[in-house]
Amino acid sequence: MTTGSNFWVIGGEFGSMNFHKLVEGSAQVQGPFKTRKEAEDAWRVVSEENRHKAGVRFSIVEEPSRVPA
């Protein structure tokens, strides 16, 4: 676990199966989550809600820790 990091669940509906460009207005961002476990739990929920849509994908991303100036 990285101290000070935030985790986000991001994704939405993509225009094609190469998953390069989101359909306008479909982007979703959830977070920040303090632990990867919390983000994974949110990812599971949103992925399950959209499992019947082949063009929808979500990922977990970690925000880098900030170093005090």
25 occurs within a structural domain:
yes
Give the structural domain span for 38. 6-63
33 occurs within a structural domain:
yes
| Long-range own/partner contacts, residues 19-28 (CB < 8 A, 24 or more apart) | 19/57, 23/55, 26/56, 28/58
User: Please, are residues 49 and 13 in contact by the beta-carbon 8 Å criterion?
Assistant: no
**pLDDT band, very low/low/confident/very high, at 59 (cuts 50, 70, 90):** very high
**pLDDT band, very low/low/confident/very high, at 65 (cuts 50, 70, 90):** confident
What pTM was estimated for this model as a whole? 0.81
13 occurs within a structural domain:
yes
Q: Considering the chain, what is the average pLDDT of its residues?
A: 90
69 occurs within a structural domain:
no
**pLDDT band, very low/low/confident/very high, at 2 (cuts 50, 70, 90):** very low
Per-residue pLDDT tens for 15-42? Answer: 988 889 999 999 999 999 999 999 999 9
User: Please, are residues 58 and 44 in contact by the beta-carbon 8 Å criterion?
Assistant: no
- In the beta sheet, which residues pair with residue 57? 12
68 occurs within a structural domain:
no
1 occurs within a structural domain:
no
